[in-house]
Amino acid sequence: MDCIFCKIANKEIPADIVYEDANVIAFNDLNPQAPVHFLVIPKKHYESLNNIDSDEVFKNLFSAIPKITKKLGIEEYRTVVNTGESAGQTVFHIHVHVMAGREFKWPAG
Ligand code: 5GP
Ligand code: ZN
């Protein structure tokens, strides 16, 4: 499958990896929108939030986040999951954006 995030998960293309365990991998965003901006993805391919077939995937994705932020000394951060083109999804392998290091506005644009 021609999926850029599968290729990152399989180490076929390089990424600045900040965390990895058996189920997920996290790496810095290529085009950061904040001083800290990394993405957490399941190693298994799911197109979006709409395709996840097991609650374990949510647990694996979100439980990794505080582990990573703690390691980075971050207590406050924005998490975003874009689902579908109109919501801003451009890579169709589910990912959680984690951003920190600046003020974030609400509602998001
Ligand atoms: P989306 O718009 O789908 O929510 O987010 C996709 C994110 O992936 C974007 O923030 C974009 O900068 C990032 N991205 C796209 N291609 C690559 C890549 O090859 N490497 C890394 N590290 N990030 C990427
Ligand atoms: Zn994929």
pLDDT tens digits, one per residue of 13-25: 999 999 999 999 9
| Per-residue model confidence (pLDDT) at position 109 | 81
Query: What token pair was written down for 86?
Result: 């109109």
Mean pLDDT over each residue of the chain, to the nearest integer: 97
Residue 40 lies in a domain: yes
Q: State which ligand 1 atom lies nearest to the alpha carbon of 92.
A: 3
27: domain CATH number?
3.30.428.10
Residue 107 lies in a domain: no
Q: State which ligand 1 atom lies nearest to the alpha carbon of 13.
A: 19
What is the C-alpha to C-alpha distance for residues 53 and 49, in angstroms, rounded to an integer?
A: 9
Q: How many domains does one find in the chain?
A: 1
pLDDT-derived band of residue 31, with 50, 70 and 90 as boundaries? very high
Residue 108 lies in a domain: no
Q: What is the pLDDT of residues 72-99, one digit of tens each?
A: 999 999 999 999 999 999 999 999 999 9
* Domain of residue 32, residue span: 4-100
CB 28 within 8 A of CB 38: yes
Residue 13 lies in a domain: yes
pLDDT over threshold 90, residue 1: no
Q: What is the pLDDT of residues 57-74, one digit of tens each?
A: 999 999 999 999 999 999
Place of tokens 């021609």: 2
Distance of CA 10 from the midpoint of ligand 1 (Å): 16
Which residues are marked as active site?
95
pLDDT over threshold 90, residue 104: yes
Residue 73 lies in a domain: yes
CB 23 within 8 A of CB 43: yes
How would you class 30 by CB atoms within 10 Å of its CB: exposed for 0-12, middle for 13-18, buried for 19 or more? exposed
- What is 40-60 written as a DSSP string? EEESS--SSGGG---HHHHHH
Average of pLDDT values for 35-40? 98
Residue 106 lies in a domain: no
Distance of CA 19 from the midpoint of ligand 1 (Å): 16
- Percentage of the chain beyond pLDDT 90 is 97
Beta carbons within 8 Å of 78's beta carbon, 6+ residues apart = 34, 97, 98, 99, 100, 104
DSSP 61: H
